[in-house]
């Protein structure tokens, strides 16, 4: 074997090793960051609960964007990409995310698990702050998972397995913040599949960010479902509480652990799976 052929073979062997090694190191670093960030927040002077929540979003999520971009430079992966027809796919993402959340609420209501809370006035400045912070959170997660992790995995194992594996790791990272019910984890995997397929079909991040953002925004600021029970510091247009059977109401974890969410997410994913070929 010539020196050139040996070099090519060595590069082929090192490529997957580098990719899988970077995935393992990145996941370990992110897990540690999520698990340790509350201790960092405790060291900061926080004037109020609202200030603490703002710092939580900024400290935990904002650094994930430059970290994802750095990982992209190391692995030669283009992370920040809008994709094809960003306006059309962005609108599709907003419809799927916001509409999907409304359907999940409808399932809970049909099964007697939705209770209207007391009327509450919403302050526009707090609502806008909530919109901005939710956009930071969802953008950071999508930059990291669908912008960097998923393309790296797809290159190694193909679209179907790569998207599924990225979705499973996306759900697993939530365990770094504490215990999560198995049904919540299953729904997080399904949500990751939806966002992953949107990223794959569109070729960019506009669609998954829009879907992720619309779902979280409708849940938090639209219906006041996080936390459950109660209402977040940003206020909400409506204060709905989830009660009744945990199978549909989700218990303390809300819609994340609801069977209605499972049905909705599966229904949103199926049309993409019905298409022949790659997802």
- The answer to whether residue 279 sits within a structural domain is no
User: Can you give the pLDDT at residue 278?
Assistant: 62
User: Can you give the pLDDT at residue 276?
Assistant: 59
Show the domain range for 134: 3-274
- The answer to whether residue 45 sits within a structural domain is yes
User: Can you give the pLDDT at residue 5?
Assistant: 38
Residues 6+ apart with CB under 8 A from 138: 209, 212, 213, 216
User: Can you give the pLDDT at residue 52?
Assistant: 82
Torsion of CA 249, 251, 255, 259, to 10 degrees: -60
Q: What is the C-alpha separation between 236 and 248, in angstroms, rounded?
A: 22
113 and 244 Cβ atoms separated by less than 8 Å: yes
- The answer to whether residue 179 sits within a structural domain is yes
CA 151 to chain centre: 16
* Alpha-helix residue ranges (DSSP H) falling in the chain: 3-42, 49-61, 64-75, 86-110, 124-142, 150-157, 159-173, 182-202, 206-217, 246-249, 259-274
Instruction: Encode 204-219 in three state secondary structure.
Output: CCHHHHHHHHHHHHHH
Q: What is the number of domains present in the chain?
A: 1
Q: What is the C-alpha separation between 101 and 95, in angstroms, rounded?
A: 10
Burial zone of 181 (CB within 10 Å; 0-12 exposed, 13-18 middle, 19+ buried): middle
148 and 78 Cβ atoms separated by less than 8 Å: no
User: Can you give the pLDDT at residue 2?
Assistant: 42
Q: What is the C-alpha separation between 6 and 99, in angstroms, rounded?
A: 54
pLDDT, averaged in runs of 10, over the chain (279 residues): 39 67 95 90 79 87 96 93 93 97 94 83 86 96 97 94 96 90 94 96 96 96 84 85 85 88 96 72
Residues 6+ apart with CB under 8 A from 216: 97, 134, 137, 138
């Amino acid at each position: 074997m010539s020196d050139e052929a040996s070099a090519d073979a060595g590069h082929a062997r090192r490529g997957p090793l580098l990719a899988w090694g970077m995935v393992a190191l990145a996941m370990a670093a992110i897990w540690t960051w999520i698990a340790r960030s509350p201790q960092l927040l405790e060291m900061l002077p926080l004037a109020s609960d609202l200030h603490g929540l703002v710092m939580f979003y900024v400290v935990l999520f904002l650094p994930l964007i430059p970290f994802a971009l750095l990982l992209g430079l190391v692995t030669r992966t283009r992370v920040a990409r809008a994709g094809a027809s960003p306006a059309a796919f962005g609108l599709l993402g907003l419809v799927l995310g916001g509409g999907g959340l409304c359907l999940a609420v409808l399932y809970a209501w049909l099964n007697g698990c939705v209770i209207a809370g007391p009327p509450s006035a919403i302050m526009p400045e707090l609502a806008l702050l909530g919109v901005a912070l939710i956009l930071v959170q969802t953008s950071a997660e999508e930059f990291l998972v669908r912008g960097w992790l998923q393309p790296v995995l797809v290159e190694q194992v193909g679209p179907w397995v790569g998207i599924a594996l990225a979705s499973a790791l996306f759900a697993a990272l939530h365990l770094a913040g504490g215990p999560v019910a198995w049904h919540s984890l299953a729904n997080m995997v399904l949500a990751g599949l939806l966002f992953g397929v949107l990223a794959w079909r569109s070729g960019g991040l506009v669609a998954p960010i829009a879907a992720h953002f619309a779902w979280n925004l409708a849940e938090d600021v639209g219906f006041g479902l996080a936390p459950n029970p109660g209402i977040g510091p940003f206020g909400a247009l409506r204060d709905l509480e989830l009660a009744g059977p945990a199978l549909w109401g989700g218990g303390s974890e809300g819609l994340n652990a609801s069977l209605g969410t499972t049905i909705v997410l599966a229904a949103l994913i199926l049309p993409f799976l019905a298409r022949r070929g790659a997802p």
